[in-house]
Amino acid sequence: MCSISGFFNPYADYSANQAEYQQILKQMTTVLFHRGPDECGFTLSKRCGLAHTRLSIIDLKTGSQPMVYETGGFLYQMIFNGEIYNLPDLKQQLASLGYTFRTTSDTEVLLLSFLEYGPDFVKQVDGIFSFAVYDERHETIYLFRDYFGVKPLFYTFLNDTLIFSSEIKGLFCYPDVEAAVDSDGLNEIFSLGPARSPGSAVFRNIHELKPGFYLSHNRYGTQFTNYWRLSSMPHRDSYEDTIEKTRFLLTDAIRRQLVSDVPVCTFLSGGVDSSVVSAVCAAELRKKGVQLTTFSFDFKDNDKYFKSNSFQPSQDAPFVKKMVDFLKSNHHYLTCDNQTQADLLYESVDAHDLPCMADIDSSLLYFCREVSKSHKVVLTGECADEVFGGYPWFHREEFLKSNTFPWTPSLTPRQSLLSGSLLDALQMEKYVQKIYDTSVSEIAVLPTEDEIESNRRRIGYLNIRYFMQTLLNRMDRTSMHSGLEARVPFADRALVEYIFNVPWEMKAKDGTVKNVLRQASKGLLPDEILFRKKSPYPKTYHPAYEALLCERLKDVLSSANEPILQLVDKETVLLFLDHPKDYGAPWYGQLMAGPQMTAYLLQINYWLKKYQVAILL
């Protein structure tokens, strides 16, 4: 993986002040160096500047960027972040038309495909990506983002200048890009957060290119093209054919995502999702005489303090051991302690440039850092629950009829800690309802679906559009912060398109959660793992961790100059900190309960201070 960043103005002449704009490009590569520590480069022309940092995974010797191609006396330039999984097919199509290649990199194939077919060529690309193409002849820049938003891409406009970057911090390298937040941004943090509505980057006038979109910008304006979207269609396959096709699509996605010129590893939790990915990887590597390396995560003293609840019924460790024995993998058990997890809360904000999933993020940041010491590429089991219907809100009637985002069924835990003036300004219920109504209107239900099935389809769409995006953001920032590329086979386009339309009576046949996935994976795993009850990413239950967070937030509240004091009711927060937290009643998702609220408030305060965010209400 890599980072991309740059700027373009159809009326500019950057060559007139070349040193200044080259320095901006250098600064962009500096702040994004963690995403691509192997190499960096930039190019500046009259209208456009492009910058790139590279994590070398494919074509280690000749894949430098920006990549430039000249034809007809004009230059075409590309910077690319991601991996392309159907590269041989795309390359063969171009070769049949007479193209020859100077490198073995995917960037060259993409650039030549753009030249041959135009921007809609992206519809034929299978992979995870964000990339930019500058067309000098027509003085137009194009920004592209993959189908599900696995790879990030942010942008802002200053008059006619488009500035873009893989991370928000890159935008702030350009003069006069301001860190400010208005009521919409604060609603994103307090009403939806740590999720974000598609396209929102929280900061005022800063946006994220939506998944499945590309934009073009030139002297005639800016155009957004939605080149792909999830569609509702009748499912015609029999149950048996559905299981067989799912097995093919899943195993094919995993195999294709093993492409790499450096060693690949997997995350292994002992659940069905990561175990299936690891099993297919282990079998493929075994054919080459290579042993798979796997990693699992846990927290210090969790064997002593773990508390089973409806969202997290069991610990991972016993199931991990069974899978390690089954796979015969080279396994590494990683453990995070309280101090490390708390200390990395702020670095998690640095990675996102925003408040995020609190210690659910900071712990993964630590684990990815440890994995990156020996590997550059990891395959994960992320996104299976969103695609195959593994979450409680797919199965419980109160969620299906809630008429709101099911992972945030109530705003009360959030609202109770905010100041009265902020609550008046935000109108949180109205904001959430507006975003929810807009989102569910994007997906069509089928005429034959009853109310429950229609709601399930809507929840399925929202999971892919919102909840999955939050987890993909987390996976990208925590891994790329240490130069680790995380791949997500369950977010394969063909697999998601197919499973989205499989009826619920197949997905949950005989009351089995994620039944289609489990049946399609028979023979790949021991049944004890295959039919294990879902348990999400682990978190700590250590009382000392909660005490540490409370102490730190109390220190923040004791200072008169902390920015969060403008937003919360101090006395209510202090009262909250003096009472034991409920670990089994999340205010977001399955994991973010009382201690994570404390951590989230710490992150918000740090974010406001570090970025010197102006609050505009």
Alpha carbons 416 and 569: distance in angstroms, whole number? 8
558 and 478 inside one domain: no
589 and 454 inside one domain: no
pLDDT of residue 317: 83
Q: What does DSSP say about strands 127-135 and 140-145: parallel, antiparallel, or unpaired?
A: antiparallel
328 and 472 inside one domain: yes
Residues 519-566 have pLDDT tens digits of: 999 999 999 999 988 766 777 888 899 999 999 999 999 999 999 999
Query: Which single residue is written with the structure tokens 């002992």?
Result: 270
* Residue 424 forms part of a structural domain: no
Burial class (CB in 10 A: 0-12, 13-18, 19+), 326: middle
* Residue 114 forms part of a structural domain: yes
pLDDT of 39 higher than 90:
no
Last residue of a domain, one of 530, 563, 578: 530
Tell me which residue range forms the domain holding 329.
239-393+446-530
562 and 451 inside one domain: no
Q: Do 10 and 157 touch, CB atoms closer than 8 A? A: no
Report the chain's mean pLDDT, rounded to a whole number. 94
pLDDT of residue 100: 93
pLDDT of residue 312: 58
CATH number of the domain to which 352 belongs: 3.40.50.620
pLDDT of residue 308: 60
Residues 96-115 have pLDDT tens digits of: 999 999 988 899 999 999 99
Percent of the chain surpassing pLDDT 70: 96
Largest alpha-carbon pair distance within the chain? 72
Mean pLDDT in residue range 207-235: 97
Torsion sign (Cα): 430, 584, 464, 157: positive
Alpha carbons 149 and 265: distance in angstroms, whole number? 22
DSSP per-residue codes, 291-352: PPEEEEEEETTHHHH----SS--S-SHHHHHHHHHHHT-EEEEEEE-HHHHHHHHHHHHHHH
**Based on the structure, what is the number of domains in the chain?**
3
Residues 256-315 have pLDDT tens digits of: 999 888 899 999 999 999 999 999 999 999 999 999 999 999 888 877 766 665 555 567
Last residue of a domain, one of 476, 500, 530: 530
DSSP per-residue codes, 30-46: HHTGGG-BTEEEEEE-S
Last residue of a domain, one of 487, 509, 530: 530
Give the confidence band of 494 by pLDDT, cuts at 50, 70, 90: very high
Q: Do 385 and 470 touch, CB atoms closer than 8 A? A: no
The CA-based angle 51-84-291, given to 5 degrees, is 110
Q: Do 498 and 245 touch, CB atoms closer than 8 A? A: yes
Torsion sign (Cα): 104, 110, 111, 116: positive
pLDDT of 136 higher than 80:
yes
511 and 585 inside one domain: no
How much is the CA Rg of the chain, to the nearest whole Å?
24
The number of C-alpha atoms within 13 Å of 48 and in the hemisphere containing its C-beta is: 25
Mean pLDDT in residue range 499-505: 96
Residue 467: DSSP 8-state: I
Q: Residue 341 corresponds to which tokens in the numbers above?
A: 């997890």
DSSP per-residue codes, 162-199: EEEESSHHHHTTSTT---EE-HHHHHIIIIITTS--TT
Alpha carbons 229 and 211: distance in angstroms, whole number? 9
pLDDT of residue 593: 87
Helix (H, G, I), strand (E, B) or coil at 599: helix
280 and 246 inside one domain: yes
Residues 313-349 have pLDDT tens digits of: 567 788 999 999 999 999 999 999 999 999 999 999 9
Give the confidence band of 38 by pLDDT, cuts at 50, 70, 90: confident
Range name among 82-86, 201-205, 400-404 with the lowest pLDDT average: 400-404
CATH number of the domain to which 63 belongs: 3.60.20.10
33 and 171 inside one domain: yes
Helix (H, G, I), strand (E, B) or coil at 256: helix
pLDDT of residue 58: 59
Q: Residue 453 corresponds to which tokens in the numbers above?
A: 């099935």
* Residue 173 forms part of a structural domain: yes
pLDDT of 59 higher than 70:
no
Residues 6+ apart with CB under 8 A from 336: 297, 298, 299, 300, 363, 366, 367, 540
Burial class (CB in 10 A: 0-12, 13-18, 19+), 174: buried
Alpha carbons 39 and 565: distance in angstroms, whole number? 42
* Residue 415 forms part of a structural domain: no
Overall pTM > 0.75: yes
362 and 464 inside one domain: yes
Q: Which is nearest to 562 in space by CA: 608, 615, 611, 617?
A: 608
pLDDT of 583 higher than 60:
no
Give the confidence band of 376 by pLDDT, cuts at 50, 70, 90: very high
Q: Do 141 and 162 touch, CB atoms closer than 8 A? A: yes
98: left (phi over 0), alpha (psi -120 to 50) or beta: left
58 vs 131, which has greater pLDDT?
Answer: 131
Question: What are the distances in angstroms from CA 531 to CA 298, 380, 514?
Answer: 22, 19, 9
95 and 158 inside one domain: yes
Q: Per the residue annotation, which of 2, 265, 281, 383 is the catalytic one?
A: 2
Alpha carbons 141 and 159: distance in angstroms, whole number? 16
Alpha carbons 31 and 25: distance in angstroms, whole number? 10
* Residue 419 forms part of a structural domain: no
* Residue 190 forms part of a structural domain: no
Can 2 be counted among the known catalytic residues? yes
253 and 221 inside one domain: no
* Residue 146 forms part of a structural domain: yes
Q: Do 450 and 378 touch, CB atoms closer than 8 A? A: no
582 and 473 inside one domain: no
* Residue 287 forms part of a structural domain: yes
379 and 256 inside one domain: yes
Give the confidence band of 396 by pLDDT, cuts at 50, 70, 90: confident
Alpha carbons 82 and 34: distance in angstroms, whole number? 15
Q: Do 599 and 540 touch, CB atoms closer than 8 A? A: no
